[in-house]
């Protein structure tokens, strides 16, 4: 019993100390290897267990300790001097013990190294910060005076000793975040020392004659930046020059040989492992370029051909090893060019492409665990800081540091970035880097992923100083930081622009107007001066409005910059804000309603139509803040609202603006929903058709009342029949509403009078809907009626009947295929449907002549209808394989077969095509081609209207327009030039299907 109690209490003690796998720990504690650390009573040295508990992973540290002791005992050094010294160190509570245990508890890879080289425990125990010079001398010394080891092994062993030193200091630092920059710098210096030593090996390998070449190694990337990771590729560039009197060709040959030797000395695996790959791919011409070049050759390359990203890489260039004088000459010649990069022609486009690339290359499965890539990752911070250095370092030499954190500090001191933002970002960056360091340290693997297993997370959490629930805490920390870093563009790029515009705190250094403009144009604004004016106007003053805009705008500027037309987005936003600035809900909505501001920014910078609509009725922006604001309203709901608006007003001329304002409001809702990806083209068609029908229905009532008041009662029922895409329920943003009107005089009415008044009603309707005013017009087009433009506007059922029986041409029956009554009494609608049924779905289909007529008419239209100058291969409506081709193919089949196949009796093109396929009248592949073209054509027309605010029926011939349209239909930014190929491919297939099914 006593034994059990004791067991439990020991277990409790161990658990409290932080040990995890208690059974295993207990058996380890009894390991004889620990004997030297026990006193006569068999108790471990005082405080040792607690000291183990201080480490990131006490289990790991204990196991490491056992293994190290075994190894020390096995070395048979004279009198076990090593073992004794080690035991003495471990028995006493001091910094030495803490350092050794910290390493053992954080890195299984370093434990492995220690087991192989037990005497290296002193590297950790006696670790002190060392100047780079001394590290360099030590490593070079180790490979020259190397005893029994091969040069490669000697280099690796000495390097790991250095690594032990750095890790020991890093892991025992009171605050790892404070220590982070020093650790990164020490690692970079160690890498540089290794490069120097490797160069010494390469020289030795080359043997006599290497003197003809002066070789400098320029550190790039994190090495050059003095902010290296524990495990990373080391990026370098080699510079060679002939020694005095030597031949250049010979020197370059030797230089190449030395450089290759150096790279091999670092990366070749031996029994002691390898250091890291040396990557020289940042050199001019990348992997295809010569490995070494002279200073002049480097210079010539960068003068002529370098890309923006190469200059960005050169920001980090640092003379790392070899001939330091030569390296300094290289720096002096090349660096000035880096600072001119922002003035190069393609700078803006390059930067945007680079930014997209930074954000893209993350495998989706890893995105949530990535510390380095993706939005809110380390790369994002580094990239953003570098970009600002390039933009502003041109005029301000104080920004030209190679180190991320130093540069960030300099940006803050110069006023290019807010002080608080810089401080927060500095802290976040250190934190992410620390996580990365500790993750890498465990196995000395190059990884930037948060671990997944509980044990790994626990170790990581403890290494970051968490003692309670370390696994949960470290994940939560990281998530919070990433969330903050994700706002980096706002903080670094945009917020300072506001400070520049407002000049709020005169005592703090701010962005100068020139610097602000340089930055705006780097971010993609084409008119930076204009943009600055808008920012000023939006944020000037001390009003609540200005205060809220100041917090909003930095984020919104970023969203504008993501779209095709940032300038237009900002301008529209200013105009909307000028209108609504004082309304309380507007600012509140933008500030509080989650995504409202983001959606507004994206919509305004990608759509002229949205901007135009919104400028007229800014209050409609409200829909963005409403919970279901972006769901199109049903026809009934819209009708009811319009009716209510009419009821509140006395005269038609008062009522109609209200009806049209409601229409615009609903139109905007559809536009917003469309642009934010909530609706597909079919939904948009249905929503627009419902909206048009509701508007027409209400307007019909208003117009009838108006005529009745003016001329006397309209003693008849009036029916509005939707034709074309309205009848099909497939209206686009730029479509007119095709209609016909049916009149049914009440019994006993005077037909002539009724007809006159009904005609007046119809004309009044058209006037009311298209009268000039702030609201967008809805154009009613009645040209499809019998006798076209020359026929009477309204006819009775009987009149339609006699016309269709006697005079009508086949195309008029074809037009009836899409007829659908949309407003007026249902009884009359049913009558009209009965009338046209045998006409549009004739019992025996069409006779040969009728078919020929339709085909001939179509063929003639192809030759004649296309507007002057339009290209049939890019006109999405009338061109080859366009809308007309698809619709006529369907309609001919409907005329011929709808009587036998009731599924074909639909007014919508898409449903008709589906029916055509299921009835087996068109092969599935052809039906698919037709459908694809119809969908794409409608998407393109809608996108064109959204982008330009004007109808677009062809693929835009201006590249910017094509890009704007392409983005709206979901292509990558910059694919404007592809748009015509995309359309032509789809249209060609549709044309094939049309040829096979319409003309044959």
Positions that interact with another protein (CB under 8 A) = 284-285, 288-290, 300-301, 304-305, 345, 873-874, 957-959, 962, 974, 976-978, 980-981, 984-985, 988-989, 992
Handedness of CA 959, 960, 966, 969 (dihedral sign): negative
Minimum CB separation of residue 980 from another protein in Å reads: 5
CB of 874 to another protein, least distance (A): 8
Helix or strand run (H / E) with residue 641: helix 635-647
Instruction: Kindly give, in sequence order, each residue whose CB lies less than 8 Å from that of residue 65, ignoring residues fewer than 6 positions away.
Output: 34, 52, 90, 101, 104
- Minimum Å distance from CB 344 to another protein? 10
CA distance 124 to 486: 37
Nearer to another protein, 264 or 988 (CB): 988
Would you say 284 or 776 has its CB closer to another protein? 284
Considering the complex, what minimum distance in angstroms separates the CB of residue 837 from another protein?
Answer: 39
**Residue closer to another protein, measured from CB, 304 or 468:** 304
Give 129 or 349: the residue with its C-beta nearer to another protein.
Answer: 349
Task: Report in angstroms how near the CB of residue 577 gets to another protein at its nearest.
Answer: 33
> By C-beta, is 889 or 929 nearer to another protein?
929
Closest CA to 689 of 730, 721, 659, 724: 730
Distance CA 733, CA 777 (A): 12
Q: How far is the CB of 986 from another protein (least distance, A)?
A: 9
Shortest Å distance, C-beta 312 to another protein: 18
The token pair at 692 is 């048009």
- Residue 751: CB minimum distance to another protein, A: 57
We find the least distance from the C-beta atom of residue 313 to another protein, in angstroms, to be: 16
| Beta partners for residue 215, in sequence order | 240
In this structure, are residues 744 and 797 in contact, taking their beta carbons and an 8 Å threshold?
yes
- Tracing tokens 């549009």 back to the chain, one arrives at 840
Beta strands in 334-452 (DSSP E): none
Beta bridge partners of 50: none
Shortest CB 436 distance to another protein, Å: 34
Query: Which strand (E) or helix (H) includes residue 133?
Result: helix 132-144
CB of 841 or CB of 947, closer to another protein: 947
Q: Which is nearer to another protein, 816 or 990 (CB)?
A: 990
Distance separating alpha carbons of residues 413 and 639, to the nearest angstrom: 60
CB-based contact 176:441 (threshold 8 Å): no
Cα(200)–Cα(109) distance, rounded to whole angstroms? 27
* Residue the block writes with tokens 């789809």: 986
In the complex with another protein, the residue whose CB is nearer, 353 or 455, is 353
Instruction: Pick the closer one to another protein by CB: 345 or 507.
Output: 345
Q: Tell me whether residue 555 or residue 962 sits nearer to another protein (CB atom).
A: 962
β-sheet bridge partners, residue 241 = 214
CB of 650 to another protein, least distance (A): 53
Name the residue nearer to another protein (CB basis): 94 or 924.
924
Cβ proximity to another protein, 349 vs 788, nearer residue: 349
Contact status, residue 932 vs residue 989, Cβ threshold 8 Å: yes
Strand 292-293, strand 234-242: pairing: parallel
Residue 967 to residues 221, 354, 962: CA-CA distances in angstroms?
34, 18, 9
CB of 238 to another protein, least distance (A): 16
* Element spanning 189, H or E: helix 176-206
Stretch (H or E) spanning 171 = helix 151-171
What is the distance between the alpha carbons of residues 251 and 296, in angstroms, rounded to a whole number?
A: 14
Instruction: List CB contacts of 374: < 8 A, sequence separation 6 or more.
Output: 359, 362, 367, 380
Minimum distance between the CB of residue 383 and another protein, rounded to whole angstroms? 22
d(CA 600, CA 603): 5
- Least distance (Å) between residue 992 CB and another protein: 7
**512 vs 978, beta carbon nearer another protein:** 978
CB of 308 to another protein, least distance (A): 13
Beta strands in 690-767 (DSSP E): 716-722, 737-745
Q: Which is nearer to another protein, 4 or 288 (CB)?
A: 288
Q: Which is nearer to another protein, 66 or 982 (CB)?
A: 982
Residue 25 CB, nearest distance to another protein (Å)?
53
Residues with Cβ within 8 Å of 590's Cβ and at least 6 positions away in sequence, in order, are: 548, 552, 596, 597, 600
Token pair for 109: 């890879």
Q: Which is nearer to another protein, 133 or 346 (CB)?
A: 346
Token pair of 271 as six digits: 């029994």
* 373 and 448 Cβ atoms separated by less than 8 Å: yes
Burial tier of 750 (Cβ tally within 10 Å: 0-12, 13-18, 19+):
exposed
Max CA separation in the chain (angstroms): 131
The C-alpha atoms of residue 276 and residue 296 are separated, in whole angstroms, by: 30
Q: β-pairing, 737-745 with 716-722?
A: antiparallel
Our CB check for another protein shows the closer of 346 and 582 to be 346
How does strand 737-745 pair with strand 213-219? unpaired
* 801 SS3 class: helix
- Minimum CB separation from another protein for residue 700, in Å? 44
CA separation for the pair 808, 487 (Å, rounded):
66
The first and second tokens of residue 438, run together, are 């500790």
Give min distance, CB of 281 to another protein, in A. Answer: 15
Q: DSSP string spanning 830-849?
A: HHHHHHHHHHHS-TT---HH
For another protein, give the closer residue by CB, 476 or 959: 959
Return the sign of the alpha-carbon dihedral for residues 789, 795, 801, 806. Answer: negative
């Amino acid at each position: 019993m006593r034994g059990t109690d004791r067991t439990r209490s020991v277990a409790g003690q161990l658990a409290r100390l932080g040990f995890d796998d208690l059974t295993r720990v207990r058996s380890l504690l009894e390991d004889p290897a620990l004997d030297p650390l026990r006193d006569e009573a068999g108790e471990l040295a005082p405080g040792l267990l607690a000291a183990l508990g201080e480490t990131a992973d006490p289990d790991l540290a204990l196991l490491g300790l056992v293994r190290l002791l075994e190894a020390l005992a096995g070395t048979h050094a004279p009198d076990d001097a090593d073992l004794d010294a080690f035991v003495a160190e471990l028995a006493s509570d001091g910094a030495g013990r803490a350092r050794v245990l910290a390493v053992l508890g954080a890195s299984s890879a370093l434990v492995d190294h220690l087991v192989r080289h037990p005497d290296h425990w002193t590297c950790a125990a006696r670790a002190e910060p060392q100047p780079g010079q001394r590290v360099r001398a030590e490593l070079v010394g180790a490979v020259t005076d190397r005893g029994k080891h091969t040069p490669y092994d000697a280099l690796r062993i000495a390097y790991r000793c250095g690594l032990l030193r750095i890790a020991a200091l890093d892991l025992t630092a009171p605050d790892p975040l404070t220590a982070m920059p020093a650790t990164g710098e020490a690692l970079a210096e160690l890498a540089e020392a290794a490069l120097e030593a490797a160069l010494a090996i390469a020289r030795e390998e080359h043997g006599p004659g290497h003197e003809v070449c002066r070789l400098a190694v320029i550190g790039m990337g994190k090495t050059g930046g003095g902010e290296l990771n524990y495990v990373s590729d080391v990026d370098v560039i080699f510079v060679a020059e002939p020694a005095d009197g030597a031949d250049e060709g010979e020197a370059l040959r030797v230089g190449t040989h030395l450089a290759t030797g150096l790279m091999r000395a670092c990366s070749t695996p031996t029994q002691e492992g390898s250091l890291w790959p040396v990557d020289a791919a940042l050199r001019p011409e990348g992997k295809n370029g010569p490995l070494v070049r002279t200073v002049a050759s480097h210079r010539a390359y960068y003068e002529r051909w370098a890309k923006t990203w190469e200059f960005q890489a050169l920001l980090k260039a640092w003379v790392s090893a070899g001939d330091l004088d030569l390296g300094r000459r290289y720096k002096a010649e090349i660096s000035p060019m880096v600072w001119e990069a922002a003035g190069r022609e393609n700078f803006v486009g390059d930067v945007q492409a680079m930014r997209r690339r930074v954000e893209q290359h993350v495998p989706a499965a890893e995105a949530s665990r990535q510390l380095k890539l993706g939005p809110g990752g380390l790369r994002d911070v580094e990239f953003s800081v570098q970009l600002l250095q390039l933009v502003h370092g041109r005029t301000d030499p104080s920004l030209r540091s190679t180190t991320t954190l130093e540069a960030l500090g300099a940006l803050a001191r110069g006023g290019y970035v807010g002080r608080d933002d810089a401080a927060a970002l500095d802290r976040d960056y250190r934190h992410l880097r620390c996580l990365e360091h500790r993750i890498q340290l465990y196995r000395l693997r190059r990884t930037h992923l948060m671990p997944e297993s509980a044990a790994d997370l626990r170790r990581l959490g403890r290494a970051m100083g968490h003692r309670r629930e370390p696994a949960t805490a470290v994940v939560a920390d990281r998530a919070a930081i990433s969330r903050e870093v994700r706002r980096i563009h706002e903080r670094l790029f945009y917020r300072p622009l506001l400070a520049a515009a407002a000049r709020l705190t005169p005592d703090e250094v701010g962005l100068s107007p020139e610097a602000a403009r340089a930055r705006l144009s780097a971010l993609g604004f084409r008119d930076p001066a204009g943009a600055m004016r808008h920012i000023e106007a939006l944020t000037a003053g001390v009003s609540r409005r200005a205060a809220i805009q100041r917090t909003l705008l930095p984020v919104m500027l970023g969203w504008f910059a993501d779209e095709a037309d940032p300038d237009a987005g900002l301008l529209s936003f200013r105009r909307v804000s000028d209108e609504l600035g004082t309304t309380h809900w507007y600012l509140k909505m933008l500030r509080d309603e989650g995504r409202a501001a983001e959606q507004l920014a994206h919509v305004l910078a990608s759509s002229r139509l949205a901007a135009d609509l919104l400028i007229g009725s800014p209050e409609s922006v409200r829909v963005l803040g409403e919970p279901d604001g972006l769901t199109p309203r049903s026809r009934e709901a819209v009708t009811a609202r319009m009716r209510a608006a009419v009821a509140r007003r006395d005269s038609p001329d008062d009522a109609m603006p209200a009806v049209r304002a409601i229409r615009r409001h609903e139109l905007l809702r559809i536009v917003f929903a469309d642009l934010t990806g909530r609706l597909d083209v079919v939904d948009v068609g249905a929503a627009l058709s419902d909206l048009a029908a509701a508007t027409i229905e209400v307007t019909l009532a208003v117009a009838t009342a108006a005529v009745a008041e003016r001329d006397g009662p309209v003693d008849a029922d009036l029916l509005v029949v939707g034709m074309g895409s309205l009848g099909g329920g497939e209206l686009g943003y730029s479509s007119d509403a095709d209609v016909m009107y049916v009149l049914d005089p009440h019994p006993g009415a005077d037909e002539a009078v009724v007809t006159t008044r009904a005609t007046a009603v119809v004309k009044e309707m058209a006037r009311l809907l298209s009268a000039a005013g702030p609201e967008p017009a809805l154009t009613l087009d009645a040209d499809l009626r019998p006798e076209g433009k020359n026929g009477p506007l309204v006819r009775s059922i009987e009149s339609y009947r006699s016309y269709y029986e006697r005079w009508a041409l086949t195309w008029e029956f074809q037009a009836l295929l899409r007829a659908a009554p949309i407003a007026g009494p249902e009884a009359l609608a049913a009558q009209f449907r009965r009338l046209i049924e045998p006409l549009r779905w004739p019992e025996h289909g069409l006779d040969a002549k009728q078919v020929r007529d339709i085909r001939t008419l179509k063929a003639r239209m192809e030759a004649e209808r296309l507007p002057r100058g339009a290209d049939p291969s890019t006109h999405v409506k009338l061109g080859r394989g366009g809308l007309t081709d698809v619709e006529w193919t369907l309609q001919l089949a409907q005329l011929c077969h709808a009587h036998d196949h009731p599924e074909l009796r639909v007014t919508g093109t898409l449903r008709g095509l589906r029916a055509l396929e299921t009835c087996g009248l068109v092969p599935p592949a052809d039906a698919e081609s037709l459908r694809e073209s119809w969908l794409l054509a409608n998407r393109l027309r809608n996108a064109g209207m959204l982008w330009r605010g004007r109808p677009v029926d062809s693929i835009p011939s201006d590249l910017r327009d094509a890009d704007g349209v392409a983005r709206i239909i979901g292509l990558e930014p910059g694919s404007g030039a592809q748009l015509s190929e995309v359309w032509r491919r789809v249209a060609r297939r549709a044309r094939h299907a049309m040829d096979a099914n319409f003309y044959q």
